[in-house]
């Protein structure tokens, strides 16, 4: 892009935008954005802010709006954003995301709200004309995912899902160097796991809703639980009313990475067993122990999570392992190891840190430093897809397949039988009872979206 053409655009009329673009080039990014971005964030908690900060690092943006139902969280986020963005302006603040969309008309919307809000917020943002960066899982029922996909295609909007393993530098290297070259040979078995002790056993008392929190709006279309403390960070994840449990939180990352590595689509069938076996005294209704099998032709992808005890492999407590005819690839968010079958050479790769290139990372509260490089590349890929009219690496269809497969695993655990989803007919084949579970009930006055009504 020539200097003349740059100056023809309104966003570079300010020196702050010029400085932001210069900083971007100095940091060695290979992609130069074609236009500035009017950006809004819905859900200003931990990961919503973190995603936004990574976007600010890779492109000149103006954050025009923030939305949250917690006024304390919202005002804190506004102060941090004004420090981070080049204009140092504080964005407009909203408690209702629909008012944000109407008032600010953002080109890009980042959604970092709890899972039970993803579908409605994503669809409304798409219909308002925005491209969307949507955190995983994209939905809490399968029909919601189908509706988001339909909306993205109908309105020709780019939706990048926050399954950033697809943009993780050392995993991209492992895929290109080991999987794509055939070093593994044919893969016939995959193991995925999470042994983190992340199941809540808390049992807090009921309390009054604080005046800075709109709890009814926080609950939205989900069932309204009696208030027993701020739901932020981990507490809401303890309940299936708002999430897909550890299966939807942790398995989706590893299963999506495996599907990307091996170019897999929908599984032929999904089966799962598990429940609350150890942490039985708390309020949580998510499984602390679960195994699922995502079955393909001549290949099983097996997931296990156990939120207690020791990890089966202490070096890979949250990971995936691809077992091929010629060797095994072990991988997680920190590293990878290739172990050949025979006398071949072992290979190892490590996570990419960018602490010197992005020193502000070191000041970000609760940042996952090992993930930052992946999120930046995920954001850059998102922007490229917008400018070039292409599909991003974690396109909404891929996010839907990974999300829905995990939801089907939870359904299988509940029904105690394997399930086969037909994405063309949008039914569970030969199972009317399971098909009814593809769409949950919404709390009035919220209306469940569908492919036909978006």
| Tens digit of each residue's pLDDT (9 = 90 or more) over 90-104 | 999 999 999 999 999
- Is residue 389 in some structural domain? no
Q: What is the mean pLDDT of the chain?
A: 93
Cα torsion 14, 19, 22, 24 to 10°: value is: -100
Rounded CA gap, 204 and 219, in Å?
18
The stretch 337-343 carries a mean pLDDT of: 94
- Is residue 338 in some structural domain? yes
Position 20 confidence tier, pLDDT thresholds 50, 70, 90: very low
pLDDT for residue 42 is more than 60:
yes
Position 33 confidence tier, pLDDT thresholds 50, 70, 90: low
Position 1 confidence tier, pLDDT thresholds 50, 70, 90: very low
Last residue in a domain, options 114, 145, 165: 165
**DSSP, residue by residue, 69-83:** SBHHHHHHHHHHHHH
pLDDT for residue 2 is more than 50:
no
pLDDT for residue 45 is more than 80:
yes
Per-residue tokens: 393: 């690496």
- Is residue 289 in some structural domain? yes
Partners of residue 66 on adjacent β-strands: 41, 93
In this prediction, residue 31 carries a pLDDT of 63
The stretch 82-93 carries a mean pLDDT of: 96
Residues 58 and 151 in one domain: yes
Residues 10 and 141 in one domain: yes
pLDDT for residue 237 is more than 60:
yes
In this prediction, residue 8 carries a pLDDT of 31
- Is 417 strand, coil or helix? coil
The stretch 374-385 carries a mean pLDDT of: 98
Residue appearing with tokens 């103006």: 62
- Is residue 189 in some structural domain? yes
Domains contained in the chain, number: 2
Last residue in a domain, options 141, 165, 189: 165
In this prediction, residue 89 carries a pLDDT of 95
- Is residue 375 in some structural domain? no
| Tens digit of each residue's pLDDT (9 = 90 or more) over 389-426 | 999 999 999 999 999 999 999 999 999 999 999 999 99
C-alpha to C-alpha distances, 199 to 1, 269, 292, nearest whole angstrom = 51, 27, 18
Residues 106 and 198 in one domain: no
The sheet with strand 187-194 has its strands ordered as: 269-275, 289-296, 299-306, 187-194, 318-324, 327-331, 335-340, 347-350
Position 234 confidence tier, pLDDT thresholds 50, 70, 90: confident
In this prediction, residue 36 carries a pLDDT of 82
- Of 409, 401, 414, 113, which is closest to residue 237 (Cα–Cα)? 113
Residues 202 and 224 in one domain: yes
Residues 105 and 194 in one domain: no
> What is the chain's length?
454
Residues 179 and 325 in one domain: yes
Cα-flanking dihedrals φ and ψ of residue 204, to 5°? -70, 155
- Is 303 strand, coil or helix? strand
pLDDT for residue 444 is more than 60:
yes
Q: Among 9-13, 20-24, 147-151, which is the least confidently predicted range?
A: 9-13
The whole-model pTM stands at 0.93
Position 370 confidence tier, pLDDT thresholds 50, 70, 90: very high
Residues 156 and 17 in one domain: yes
| Tens digit of each residue's pLDDT (9 = 90 or more) over 292-315 | 999 999 999 999 999 999 999 999
Residues 91 and 140 in one domain: yes
Instruction: Find the angle CA(328)-CA(333)-CA(339) to the nearest 5 degrees.
Output: 15
- Peptide bond connecting 445 to the previous residue in cis, omega within 30 degrees of 0: yes
pLDDT for residue 197 is more than 50:
yes
Instruction: Specify the CATH number for the domain of residue 310.
Output: 3.30.360.10
Residues 181 and 158 in one domain: no
The stretch 128-146 carries a mean pLDDT of: 98
In this prediction, residue 17 carries a pLDDT of 37
The stretch 250-266 carries a mean pLDDT of: 98
In this prediction, residue 138 carries a pLDDT of 98
Q: With DSSP H G I counted as helix, E B as strand and the rest as coil, what are the percentages for the chain, rounded to 5? A: 40, 20, 45
In the chain, pLDDT over 70 holds for what percent of residues? 92
Residues 24 and 124 in one domain: yes
Residues 131 and 269 in one domain: no
**DSSP, residue by residue, 347-383:** EEEEPPP-TTT-GGGGGSTT--HHHHHHHHHHHHHHH
- Is residue 380 in some structural domain? no
- Is residue 384 in some structural domain? no
The stretch 216-232 carries a mean pLDDT of: 97
Instruction: Specify the CATH number for the domain of residue 112.
Output: 3.40.50.720
In this prediction, residue 343 carries a pLDDT of 87
Residues 177 and 106 in one domain: no
The stretch 215-235 carries a mean pLDDT of: 96
Last residue in a domain, options 165, 185, 214: 165
In this prediction, residue 233 carries a pLDDT of 84
Write out the residue range of the structural domain in which residue 49 sits.
3-165
Q: Among 1-15, 52-66, 267-281, 415-429, which is the least confidently predicted range?
A: 1-15
In this prediction, residue 30 carries a pLDDT of 53
Position 254 confidence tier, pLDDT thresholds 50, 70, 90: very high
- Is residue 367 in some structural domain? no
């Amino acid at each position: 892009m020539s200097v003349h053409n740059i100056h023809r655009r309104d966003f570079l009329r300010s020196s702050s935008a010029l400085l932001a673009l210069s900083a971007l080039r100095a940091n060695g990014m290979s992609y130069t954005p074609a236009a500035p971005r009017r950006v809004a964030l819905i859900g200003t908690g931990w990961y919503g802010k973190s995603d936004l900060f990574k976007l600010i690092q890779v492109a000149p943006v103006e954050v025009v709006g923030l939305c949250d139902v917690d006024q304390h969280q919202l005002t804190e986020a506004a102060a941090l954003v004004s420090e981070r963005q080049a204009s140092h302006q504080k964005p407009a603040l909203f408690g209702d995301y629909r008012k944000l969309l109407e008032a600010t008309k953002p080109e890009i919307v980042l959604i970092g709200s709890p899972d039970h809000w993803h579908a409605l917020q994503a669809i409304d943002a798409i219909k308002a004309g925005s491209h969307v960066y949507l955190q995983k899982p994209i939905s809490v029922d399968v029909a919601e995912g189908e509706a988001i996909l339909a909306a993205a295609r109908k309105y020709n909007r780019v939706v990048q899902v926050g399954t950033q393993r697809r943009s993780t530098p050392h995993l991209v290297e492992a895929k290109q160097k080991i999987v794509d070259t055939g070093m593994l040979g044919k893969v016939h078995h995959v193991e995925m796991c999470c042994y983190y002790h992340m199941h809540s056993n808390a049992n807090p008392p009921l309390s009054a809703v604080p005046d800075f929190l709109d709890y009814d709006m926080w609950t939205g279309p989900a069932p309204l639980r009696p208030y027993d403390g701020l739901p932020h960070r981990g507490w809401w994840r303890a309940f299936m009313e708002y999430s897909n449990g550890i299966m939807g939180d942790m398995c989706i990352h590893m299963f999506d990475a495996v599907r990307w590595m091996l170019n897999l689509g929908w599984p032929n069938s999904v089966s799962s067993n598990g429940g609350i076996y150890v942490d039985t005294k708390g309020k949580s209704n998510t499984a602390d122990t679960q195994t699922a099998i995502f079955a393909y032709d001549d290949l099983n992808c097996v997931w296990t999570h156990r939120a207690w005890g020791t990890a089966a492999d202490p070096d890979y407590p949250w990971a995936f392992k691809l077992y091929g005819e010629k060797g095994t690839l072990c991988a997680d968010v920190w590293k990878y190891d290739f172990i050949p079958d025979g006398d071949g050479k072992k290979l190892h790769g490590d996570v990419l840190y960018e602490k010197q290139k992005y020193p502000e990372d070191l000041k970000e509260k609760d940042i996952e430093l090992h993930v930052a490089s992946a999120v930046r590349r995920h954001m850059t890929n998102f922007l490229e897809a917008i400018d070039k009219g292409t599909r991003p690496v974690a396109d909404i269809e891929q996010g839907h397949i990974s999300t829905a497969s995990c939801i089907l695993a939870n359904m299988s655990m509940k029904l105690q039988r394997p399930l086969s989803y037909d994405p063309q007919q949008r039914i569970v084949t030969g199972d009317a009872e399971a098909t009814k579970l593809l769409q949950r009930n919404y709390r009035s006055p919220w209306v469940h979206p569908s492919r036909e009504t978006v």
